[in-house]
Amino acid sequence: MRARLDGFKNRLRAKDDELGRKSLEMEGLANTLKEAKAENKRLQAELEKGSEAKAEIERLKAELKKEQAHAAALTEYYNLTEPKMEALRQAAREAEANAKKEAQQFAQEMAKATESAKTACLVSLFGEVDITKYQGKQKFRDMTSATLDKPLWLLMKMVSSFGVSRHSIPCLSQAPTCGEAPCATVLPHDIETTGAPPPHGSSLPP
């Protein structure tokens, strides 16, 4: 009887030891499961972050596509308008060149007109002056020819020096008087001046 009781105790002790081992295994499995849950939670958080990053990537892709479309539209607009802009620039350059050419032509025409007016004045002067009264007709012609490149006031001096009224010369009849511009009364030999204006206040015969 005692032997049977000892055997039962030994079996019971063995069962207790096995239960202890099972309990330790269960505790280890519980810890492992807890760690697995924590890892799963961490991975879920990473997955959510990855989803947010993916959404951001998709948003950036959409913006990039819009920018590419905008750039393509600008390029097309530039390709369409650049020939027109170049044509406008060419037209502006041609207009500027034409304006310069016309200005030069106008200046040349004005110079010719001025020379023609001076020549007309001298022709009128020859018609009014009796050059037979003066010695050296060639000198008279030289003096009058030399005034072609002189200003109006010098031509008026010549007219007055030969005793001719400036009102009898059409191109000088409206010339300014001494109160409006410098002038002087000179003798014929004074016409060989360098062209410097006379002192202010000198008188000009009518």
- Predicted pLDDT of residue 151: 57
123 falls in which pLDDT band (50, 70, 90)?
Answer: low
SS3 of residue 6 by DSSP: helix
57 falls in which pLDDT band (50, 70, 90)?
Answer: very high
Please determine, for residue 51, whether its predicted confidence score (pLDDT) is greater than 90: no
pTM to 2 decimals?
Answer: 0.36
Mean pLDDT across the chain, nearest whole number? 72
Please determine, for residue 90, whether its predicted confidence score (pLDDT) is greater than 50: yes
User: What distances in angstroms separate CA 40 from CA 34, 43, 53, one per listed residue?
Assistant: 10, 5, 19
SS3 of residue 32 by DSSP: helix
SS3 of residue 169 by DSSP: coil
pLDDT tens digit sequence for 162-180: 665 656 555 555 544 444 4
